Amino acid sequence: MSKIIVVKNILDANDRIAEENRKLFDNEKIYVLNLMSSPGAGKTSLVERTIEALQERYKIGVIEGDIQGSADAERIAKLGVPVVQINTGGACHIDGNMIREALPGIDLTQIDLLIAENVGNLVCPAEFKIGENAKVMVLSTPEGADKPAKYPLMFQQSEALIINKIDLLPYVDFNMEKAKKDALTINRNLKIFEVSCKTSAGLNDWYGWLSDRIESFQTK
């Protein structure tokens, strides 16, 4: 009778694939962001602004994760950077294997920065590594300041928190001090940016932080 092998922990299996992705990225000196948020918080707008600001300095590629459709990839393609659309077919997050299957669509020798935009979901994406250098999350002001306390894992796992849609602050009940305090209570190393992808307010600090991270990775 042949031995039955049971993969007990799907997260263990994912970690191994994410590590293989990471080796590929290391070989090519590619800095990889895993960008996460609730639906509609502004991930794609942030990717657009970041490409516009940094594409003369770095060669950028994008992987778009969506349950279905390719609307976001079409937005990114207009900016002239290579982009691959992952359709998860119902799954609530992207994982290491989906990234691995997307990679043949991008010439990795021509990329310094790879941005993977996750499925809009404040819960599940934080559980799955994809081979990233950093997880970065977006929280938008209309979502409310109670989100760190209610969805702690993503705040704990992220290196940077981008608080987007500050142009709406006069019209929504968002307690910025509470949001930042609660986020830092969960993760005291979290770097926080207050931005508007609509007006571009506050984005220069984000570009500076990201550039520093890319350059210290490439020269190490």
Which residues are at the interface with a copy of itself (CB under 8 A)? 38-40, 66-69, 71, 90, 92, 119-124, 140, 142-144, 146-147, 149-153, 165, 167-168, 171-172
- Contact call for residues 125 and 118 (beta carbons, < 8 A): yes
Beta-ladder partners of 193: 162
Output 80 or 171, the one with its CB closest to a copy of itself: 171
Q: Tokens 């990717």 map to which residue?
A: 47
33: three-class secondary structure by DSSP: strand
Q: How far is the CB of 93 from a copy of itself (least distance, A)?
A: 9
- Contact call for residues 31 and 213 (beta carbons, < 8 A): yes
Output 32 or 138, the one with its CB closest to a copy of itself: 138
- Contact call for residues 33 and 64 (beta carbons, < 8 A): no
Q: How far is the CB of 66 from a copy of itself (least distance, A)?
A: 6
- Contact call for residues 163 and 183 (beta carbons, < 8 A): no
Output 25 or 151, the one with its CB closest to a copy of itself: 151
Q: How far is the CB of 136 from a copy of itself (least distance, A)?
A: 17
Q: How far is the CB of 179 from a copy of itself (least distance, A)?
A: 11
Output 71 or 201, the one with its CB closest to a copy of itself: 71
- Closest to 152 measured CA to CA, from 182, 110, 132: 182
Q: How far is the CB of 110 from a copy of itself (least distance, A)?
A: 29
Q: What CA–CA distances, in Å, run from 149 to 61, 119, 182?
A: 33, 21, 6
Output 32 or 73, the one with its CB closest to a copy of itself: 73
